[in-house]
Amino acid sequence: MGVKFWLKRACLVYVAVFLLLFISECIKGHKVIDGIIFALEWSLLSTLVFISTRLYYVRQGKSCTLCNDMPMKSDKEDS
């Protein structure tokens, strides 16, 4: 898993969290610009925490079934 994989994953997480937060702010009735600023800031923070945690777990050799970013043990044994 190289840099390209992690950049792609970070962009995907950032956009997903941004949209979720922006839509929730709009539903709450906040101004659009305030919703954008809020979503930009918290999306960045959330993405940094998520990617940092995933990098830590990958280095520890722990897999995540939900993320599916490491080969399963049975796949390794068959090769």
* Residues 6-56: tens digit of each pLDDT: 888 899 999 999 999 999 999 999 999 999 999 999 999 999 998 898 888
In this prediction, residue 2 has a pLDDT band, given cuts at 50, 70 and 90, of confident
* CA distances from residue 65 to 58, 68, 72 in whole angstroms, order as listed: 12, 5, 9
What H or E segment, with its residue span, contains residue 29? none
Ramachandran region of residue 70, left (φ > 0), alpha (ψ -120 to 50) or beta?
beta
Judge if pTM exceeds 0.85: no
Residue of 57, 48, 65 whose CA lies nearest to 11 = 48
Higher pLDDT, 69 or 75: 69
Residues 35, 22 contacting (CB under 8 angstroms) = yes
First to last CA, the chain: 18
